[in-house]
Amino acid sequence: SQQGEEDPQALSIQEGENATMNCSYKTSINNLQWYRQNSGRGLVHLILIRSNEREKHSGRLRVTLDTSKKSSSLLITASRAADTASYFCATESGSARQLTFGSGTQLTVLP
Amino acid sequence: DAGITQSPRHKVTETGTPVTLRCHQTENHRYMYWYRQDPGHGLRLIHYSYGVKDTDKGEVSDGYSVSRSKTEDFLLTLESATSSQTSVYFCATTDSQETQYFGPGTRLLVL
Tell me the domains of chain B and their CATH numbers: 4-110 (2.60.40.10)
CB atoms within 10 A of CB B70: 10
CATH class of A5-110: mainly beta
CB contact under 8 A, B48 and A88: no
Per-residue pLDDT of chain B (111 residues; tens, 9 = 90+): 569 999 999 999 999 999 999 999 999 999 999 999 998 778 999 999 999 999 999 999 999 999 999 999 999 999 999 999 999 999 999 988 888 999 999 999 999
CB contact under 8 A, B98 and A2: no
Asked whether A56 and A49 are in contact (CB, 8 A), the reply is yes
Q: Does A45 touch chain B (CB under 8 A)?
A: yes
According to the model, what pLDDT value does residue A1 have?
43
- Rounded distance, CA A104 to CA B15, Å? 30
Which residues are CB-contacts of B99 (< 8 A; sequence separation ≥ 6)?
A: A33, A45, A48
Query: Any idea of the CA torsion for B18, B23, B29, B35, to the nearest 10 degrees?
Result: -70
Phi, psi (deg, nearest 5) at residue B16: 95, -10
Q: Running DSSP on this structure, what letter comes out for residue B71?
A: T
